[in-house]
A and B are shown apart, each in its own frame.
Chain A
């Protein structure tokens, strides 16, 4: 399978714990995105990488959230001191920058569902 993969698929944690999610993009894609999707809502943009550089962060990404893409391949999203409001589906997407931005297509992974108790 050469699509975007995310691990774990599900995570249950207690409030105050730290969690880390991993995303492996499509191999030739140099852009990587994180989105958050809460129940009954569409995905909301969190952050975006081009290669290893984090180029944009949403105001939704509080200081407790940090994302990395150290070698321009896989990415991790860490949430420190989780809160119940962090419960959501965290989606990763990737794209290839070889076309004009309006022509790009983002390919999404299956998501990591987080439940904070």
Chain B
């Protein structure tokens, strides 16, 4: 079945450090891939998405490229801020309305 695996947290970085959160997937067909972010006390918000191979999703300085050959969708940001501290969820949907999420990665950014 379809599944998503993402790196365990917490990931702790200093402000302005480079961020990578790894995400790999298993899916039949041609899924859409996405990253959602969950700030403390809030609901999940879509951060970025990509719907086909080699697409790059980007938002708020975050980027992720849909790599079909490595079945990956790693999240990157060149310079993190304290306000980026949150839980990040990688996920996919593959032709149905059901979203499948990874377990989440908590990011802590220290000033």
Does B69 count as interface, using CB distance less than 8 angstroms?
no
A14-22, A35-43, A64-72, A78-86: which lies at the interface: A35-43
Bound complex: CA of A107 vs CA of B46, how far in Å? Answer: 8
Bound complex: CA of A101 vs CA of B93, how far in Å? Answer: 9
Bound complex: CA of A106 vs CA of B44, how far in Å? Answer: 9
Does A74 count as interface, using CB distance less than 8 angstroms?
no
Instruction: Give the contacting residue for A4; candidates B30, B43, B51, B97; CB below 8 A.
Output: B43
Asked whether A102 lies within 8 Å of B101 as measured between CB atoms, the reply is: no
Asked whether B46 lies within 8 Å of A102 as measured between CB atoms, the reply is: no
Asked whether B98 lies within 8 Å of A42 as measured between CB atoms, the reply is: no
Does B61 count as interface, using CB distance less than 8 angstroms?
no
Instruction: Give the contacting residue for A45; candidates B32, B49, B98, B102; CB below 8 A.
Output: B98
Instruction: Give the contacting residue for B101; candidates A43, A110, A111; CB below 8 A.
Output: A43
Report chain A residues within 8 Å CB of B104. 40-42
Instruction: Give the contacting residue for B44; candidates A43, A58, A95; CB below 8 A.
Output: A43
Most chain A C-beta atoms within 10 Å of own C-beta, residue among B30, B97, B98, B104: B97
- Chain A residue at minimal CB-CB distance from B106: A40
Instruction: Give the contacting residue for B93; candidates A91, A102, A108, A110; CB below 8 A.
Output: A102
Q: Is the interface of A mostly helix, strand, loop or mixed?
A: mixed
8 Å CB contacts to A: which residues of B78-111? Answer: 89, 91, 93, 95-104
Asked whether A103 lies within 8 Å of B51 as measured between CB atoms, the reply is: yes
- Tell me the smallest distance from the CB of A53 to a CB of chain B, in Å: 12
With A40-B103, A41-B103, A108-B44 known, 11 other A-B pairs at CB within 8 A are A3-B43, A35-B99, A42-B102, A56-B97, A91-B44, A93-B99, A101-B97, A102-B93, A108-B45, A109-B43, A111-B43
Q: CB within 8 Å of B: which residues of A?
A: 3-4, 31, 33, 35, 40-45, 48, 55-56, 58, 91, 93, 95, 101-111
In the complex, the 8 A-B pairs of residues with the closest C-beta atoms, listed nearest first: A42-B101, A108-B43, A108-B44, A102-B32, A45-B98, A110-B43, A102-B51, A109-B43
Q: CB within 8 Å of A: which residues of B?
A: 4, 30-32, 36, 41-46, 49, 51, 89, 91, 93, 95-104
